[in-house]
């Protein structure tokens, strides 16, 4: 990571409303979530710190990168940009980072809404940090990230290729087209991915088990889950439930790990319901 890198973030509302911060999934620029966040911005003042791989002048990922670095980035962002505790909203890796940040700095958060947080086992956490990268690269989701194209002749070609991906099969065409606009950038005569693949892989390899973070958690928290996926290790999930029996769990079985893209309006409704449930406690 370059010393000249500068954090960058998006703002979805400048009105005097309840503050919220959103952190998204690995490999997806925040613009992919516009439909969801624009809807929420009618009631909340939202900022979204970009992942490090998207910061200007970032360079290559450091070999010792961890998700604790991202949690610390979020803590610094909230201290600078928000004068009062925020609703910490996150999806996938962003949900887990938000949880970790709240465990470290609970006074910065009023509540947490975590959509499909990445919950990995202690064994996978160990392997991510100590096993050879070439060995881990044969495992999902690293395997798919390494295999995917990063350049296309046009955005139409990008959309056509995305449509074929099994992971995107439930995403409506209009939403997927918007994601293409957010995920790729015109460069010379090619359309290229904005999110560097080396950073995406580094992020996958930087995760860790968060049971200790959950045990320390003092912030009211709701978790929204979709269909079963490889991103939530079942045994570790049940340990988390035992560690924090006050967690509010909501299920939406019609959609999967990419629920915010597959059904942004339904996801927004679930978020609002989760906030109300925590407020009523």
Backbone angles phi, psi at 60, to 5 degrees: -90, 155
pLDDT tens-digit profile of 48-81? 999 999 999 899 998 889 999 999 999 999 999 9
Give the sheet arrangement for strand 44-49, strand by strand: 9-11, 44-49, 18-23, 86-91, 109-115, 221-225, 248-251
Q: Could you tell me the end-to-end alpha-carbon distance of the chain, in angstroms, rounded to an integer?
A: 43
Question: Rounded to whole angstroms, how far apart are CA atoms 20 and 275?
Answer: 11
Q: Is the pLDDT of residue 122 over 90?
A: no
pTM of the predicted protein model: 0.94
pLDDT tens-digit profile of 3-30? 577 899 999 986 789 999 999 999 999 9
CATH superfamily of domain region 9-129+206-280: Alpha/Beta hydrolase fold, catalytic domain (3.40.50.1820)
Domain map (residue ranges) of the chain: 9-129+206-280
Percent of the chain with pLDDT over 90: 74
Q: Is the pLDDT of residue 134 over 80?
A: no
Of 92-101, 152-161, 206-215, the range with the highest mean pLDDT is 92-101
Q: Which pLDDT score, from 0 to 100, does residue 241 have?
A: 94
Lowest mean pLDDT, pick from 11-25, 50-64, 187-201, 263-277: 187-201
């Amino acid at each position: 990571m370059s010393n000249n890198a500068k954090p960058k973030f998006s703002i979805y509302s400048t009105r005097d409303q309840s503050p919220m911060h959103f952190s998204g999934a690995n490999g997806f620029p925040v613009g992919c979530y516009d439909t969801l966040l624009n809807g929420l911005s009618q009631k909340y003042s939202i900022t979204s710190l970009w992942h490090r791989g998207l910061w200007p002048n970032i360079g290559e990922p450091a070999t010792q990168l961890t998700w604790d670095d991202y949690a610390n980035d979020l803590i610094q962002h909230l201290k600078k940009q928000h004068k009062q505790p925020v609703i910490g909203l996150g999806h996938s890796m962003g949900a887990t980072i938000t949880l970790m940040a709240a465990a470290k700095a609970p006074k910065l958060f009023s509540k947490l809404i975590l959509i499909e947080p990445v919950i990995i086992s202690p064994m996978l956490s160990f392997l991510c940090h100590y096993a050879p990268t070439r060995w881990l690269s044969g495992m999902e989701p690293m395997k798919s990230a390494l295999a995917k194209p990063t350049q296309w002749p046009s955005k139409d070609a990008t959309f056509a290729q995305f449509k074929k991906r099994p992971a995107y099969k439930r995403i409506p065409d209009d939403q997927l087209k918007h994601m293409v606009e957010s995920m790729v950038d015109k460069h010379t005569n090619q359309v290229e991915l904005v999110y560097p693949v080396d950073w995406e892989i580094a992020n996958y390899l930087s995760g860790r088990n968060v049971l200790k973070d959950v045990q320390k958690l003092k912030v009211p928290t709701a978790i929204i889950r979709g269909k079963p996926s490889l991103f939530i290790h079942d045994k570790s999930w049940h340990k988390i439930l035992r560690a924090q029996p006050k967690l509010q769990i909501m299920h939406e079985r019609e959609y999967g790990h990419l629920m915010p893209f597959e059904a942004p309006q339904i996801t927004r409704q679930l978020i609002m319901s989760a906030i109300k449930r925590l407020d009523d406690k």
